[in-house]
Amino acid sequence: MSKVIPIPKSGKPEKEILLGEKAGFCMGVKNAVEQAKKEVEKQSITYCLGELTHNPEVMKNLEEKGLRVIEDLSQIPNPKGKKVIFRAHGVTKQVYEEAKKLGLEIVDLTCPNVLAIHKIAEQAVKEEKDIFLIGEKKHPETIGTASFCGKNHFVIETQEDLQQETQQYLAQVEKNANSRKLVILSQTTFHLEKFKEFENQIQEKLANKVEIEVRNTICKATRLRQEETMDLAKQVEYMIIIGGRKSSNTNKLFQIALQNCAHAVMIENEKELSEELLQEMKKYQKIGVMAGASTPDESIQNVINKIRK
């Protein structure tokens, strides 16, 4: 249920902002940011492998307190005993091994939902099952999860991948007479509708050849935000999605807003609400606001205050 915020205006009818109930931080990002803050308070120089969240404001704040973002563990000078944070997306199996070898102290803030997928993948490999991982190939979470999926896994992001990988897999199945088992997994922030569409196509192509187990591992936070964005976008005339441009889940919310509302815009913060955009908004009575899982409450509030003013 979205929260209705009236916009004070002389004359009628009154305009409204409808703010999504699920807008903003998910449990995984909230925990990662809180824990990272505690770590930099304890020991000012703390390394983080990759950006902790895709929100520039949150990152700026943490970096001012002493967080150092690195792209590779080799960038840590004299690593023994130094602390390194693994962010909510998780890392590859090889990175865990390398960090241990270097003597780093790992602060593992990988979201429990992502860790659960790593476990499902490891179990599938133990049981000699093949894996189809549905997700964005270049996303760090998918790269991390793929490293737990053993040798016989296929990553599917697009319709073309789906055609190509199922064909390649079918060729393998036909060569190997032993009965094969396949597990379908997903990146936690993948597009829900697209996952279902891919799953149906895989079932159609492979269900009579292999035993298929579907584990829809899109997390609850993603599902609820996508569903609420869709509902909200249908009720309003203009949708604003707030979040970092590099955030996978924010980009999905924006796609959903565009598909379900005639006018939609994605902004990182209130500074991007230009005079032109504000003028454009004046034409509409109902404005919907939704924010990605890495957007802090403060950013959402700043956007709403600017529109109300």
116 binds ligand SF4 (CB under 6 A): no
What six digits make up the tokens of 282? 């004046």
91 binds ligand SF4 (CB under 6 A): no
Selected binder of ligand SF4 within 221, 233, 257, 304 (CB under 6 A): 221
36 binds ligand SF4 (CB under 6 A): no
- What CA–CA distance (Å, rounded) separates 47 from 232? 39
CB of 189 or CB of 251, closer to ligand SF4: 189
Stretch that binds ligand SF4, among 108-116, 177-185, 251-259, 295-303 (CB under 6 A): 108-116
Least Å from the CB of residue 22 to ligand SF4: 11
Selected binder of ligand SF4 within 2, 46, 55, 113 (CB under 6 A): 113
Name beta bridge partners: 130. 182
Stretch that binds ligand SF4, among 91-99, 129-137, 219-227, 256-264 (CB under 6 A): 219-227
Contact yes or no for 294/250 (Cβ under 8 A): yes
Footprint on residues 184-203 left by ligand SF4 (CB under 6 A): 188-189
Active site residues: 141
291 binds ligand SF4 (CB under 6 A): no
296 binds ligand SF4 (CB under 6 A): no
Least Å from the CB of residue 69 to ligand SF4: 18
Say how many residues touch ligand SF4, by CB under 6 A.
Answer: 15
110 binds ligand SF4 (CB under 6 A): no
307 binds ligand SF4 (CB under 6 A): no
Selected binder of ligand SF4 within 67, 85, 95, 114 (CB under 6 A): 114
Site string for ligand SF4, 229-268 (x = CB under 6 A): --------------------x-------------------
Dihedrals φ, ψ of 92, to 5°?
Answer: -80, 165
Return the closest-CA partner of residue 171 out of 143, 152, 146, 148: 152
Which parts of this chain interact with ligand SF4 (CB under 6 A)?
Answer: 26-29, 88, 111, 113-114, 188-189, 219, 221-222, 249, 293
